[in-house]
Amino acid sequence: MSYTGVVFDFNGTLFWDTPLHNEAWNIFLKKRGLHLSDHDFFTTIHGKNNKDIFTQLFHRDFSAPELKKLIDEKEDLYRQLCLKTEIKLAPGVIDFLNFLQTNKTPFTIATASDKENLDFYFQHLGLSKWFDYDKVVYNNGKIKSKPDPEIYQIAMSVIGIAPEKTVVFEDAVNGLLAAQHAQAGCIIAVNSNNDDYSLFPNYQAIHSFDEVDRHQFLHD
């Protein structure tokens, strides 16, 4: 089977920052007497947008100003942690993105991150070398959280590729389910955090983008 388009999740997929997000959340939650296990993060938090996460954690809705204040606090913690580490793309990503560009395979990002973090990634990871900012689908406050398929459906539409001809790369359960619900032709789990993907036995799991079979993107 050959495919003609690619959609990437970002956090934990192209940028292996899951421990940093978890640490930021735990710092944020500790101030409020709460704690989440790694299992809680993997199964219920990862892949969702902040609005849904806060609603789930605190079992209440927030006004727009309240929500913005909470999001800003948590994401500022996260970005500070990022800047204390070596900020780089995942293993094999640069070679794979260069291959897709040379092969003229359309691709974009579908991420639960908000605009502030997206701007941060473009600044510190040089994403403009490969990605058109205007084609990146991110959390604009209107798109439904994964596992709803909407974010992947929009991304497929943006690159003009039918679902069955699209490969989706994801790391989170919610994201894998979203890609599945969007009827992606191929779904690849990026195992960036030594997670358990036994719920998805039919999906290939990779530890580096060097493992991706390039032949499935080659044109006749």
**Domain residue extents for the chain:** 5-16+88-217, 18-83
Predicted local confidence at residue 220, as pLDDT: 55
Single pTM value for the model: 0.90
Query: Options 3.40.50.150, 3.40.605.10, 2.60.40.10, 3.40.50.1000; which CATH number does 5-16+88-217 get?
Result: 3.40.50.1000
- For the stretch 108-155, pLDDT in tens is 999 999 999 999 999 999 999 999 999 999 999 899 999 999 999 999
Structure tokens at 79: 């970005």
Residue 171, pLDDT > 70, answer yes
pLDDT, averaged across the chain: 93
Count of other CB atoms within 10 angstroms of residue 79 = 17
**Check whether domain 18-83 has CATH 1.10.150.120, yes or no:** no
DSSP 111: -
**Sign of torsion, CA 38 40 46 50?**
negative
- Report the C-alpha gap between 180 and 120 in whole angstroms: 29
